[in-house]
Amino acid sequence: MNQDVQKKYQALQERLRELGSVAVAFSAGVDSTLLVYVAHEVLGGEMQAFTAQSDFVPQRDVDDAVAFCAAQHIPHEVVPFPILTVPHVQENPSDRCYYCKHALFARMKELAEARGIAYVVDGSNLDDDGDYRPGHRALHELGIVSPLHDAGFRKQDIRDLSQALGLPTWNKPSFACLASRFPYGEQLTPAGLARVNAAEEYLMAQGFTQFRVRDHGAGTIARIEVPPADIGRLLDPALRAELTARFRELGYQYVTVDLQGYRTGAMNEVLPTAKHG
């Protein structure tokens, strides 16, 4: 690894030592996998991983979290979390993430305190500062610590260090929670979340690695985002026919391709400019 990443790695280790004992919010994504690995490396038995199991999280991610922690002998607990019962979340306002993260991390704090663990930590990094993220306010209010951010990590640093450490997630695509597939103000339901997850599972099975299926019109329209280089493949006659048939089985009446291509935070593009940043 390069010298800059090495220095950040050392800063991360030192930050975790300062904290003394931590509970890691572990989603099995790129960021939290590095964090949980280094936390265990530094703190050993003074750390615990928690993975939320909810309608917002594909079961494959929970399974990945369980498998990784078992392989690394990391203390781990799956926490069932009825996210749609949290006030305001099902109505899906533009600050939905605030209510979701506040409730989830409050629960993780309770679990950590019951085990005598001093801090709950998450995988936020410097690149997370650039988008509209109301969930950060909840983390601040609850005193959640972000060691990767504190140590100066950006996403590419995390990938580079993960590769150097041999972590399987170093090149894993980024995936936000399933609620991010729906326009703000459109009610979230278990059926809708399962529908969009099944649609994305189909794309994954076809070999696509970075994508989103945005759900519009209360489930009547699927808007598929893939990187511009993959758009042509979606338009291949054979795949197009099979994909359309599968999406119609899931309940979509119209299947569309976003010509702008994949990008994070696409549902935030309709928000007033003042809400970004």
157-168, pLDDT tens digit by residue?
Answer: 999 999 999 999
Does residue 42 sit in the same domain as residue 129? yes
> Cα-flanking dihedrals φ and ψ of residue 27, to 5°?
-95, -10
Does residue 145 sit in the same domain as residue 199? no
Q: Are 260 and 249 in contact (CB under 8 A)?
A: no
Does residue 136 sit in the same domain as residue 202? no
Does residue 45 sit in the same domain as residue 157? yes
Q: Return the percentage of the chain with pLDDT > 70, whole number.
A: 95
> Cα-flanking dihedrals φ and ψ of residue 141, to 5°?
-60, -35
The average pLDDT across 202-217 equals 96
- What pLDDT does residue 131 have? 65
Indicate if the pLDDT at residue 271 is higher than 80.
no
Does residue 9 sit in the same domain as residue 131? yes
Which CATH number does the domain housing residue 85 bear? Answer: 3.40.50.620
Instruction: Please indicate, yes or no, if residue 242 is contained in any of the structural domains.
Output: yes
Instruction: Please indicate, yes or no, if residue 122 is contained in any of the structural domains.
Output: yes
Does residue 183 sit in the same domain as residue 231? yes
Q: How far apart are CA 213 and CA 47, in angstroms?
A: 36
Does residue 145 sit in the same domain as residue 52? yes
The average pLDDT across 187-215 equals 97
- What pLDDT does residue 276 have? 35
Taking the complete model, does pTM exceed 0.85, yes or no? yes
- What pLDDT does residue 275 have? 43
How many domains does the chain divide into?
2
The average pLDDT across 227-249 equals 97
Could you tell me the pLDDT band of residue 269, with boundaries at 50, 70 and 90? confident
Over the chain, what is the mean pLDDT? 94
The average pLDDT across 213-233 equals 96
Does residue 133 sit in the same domain as residue 71? yes
Indicate if the pLDDT at residue 243 is higher than 90.
yes
| Torsion angle of C-alpha atoms 194, 196, 202, 206, degrees rounded to 10 | -150
User: Nearest Cα to 145, choosing from 16, 5, 13, 27?
Assistant: 16
Please, which residues have CB within 8 angstroms of residue 128's CB and are 6 or more apart in sequence?
136, 149
The average pLDDT across 31-39 equals 98
- What pLDDT does residue 256 have? 97
The average pLDDT across 137-153 equals 97
Structural domain range at position 125: 3-164
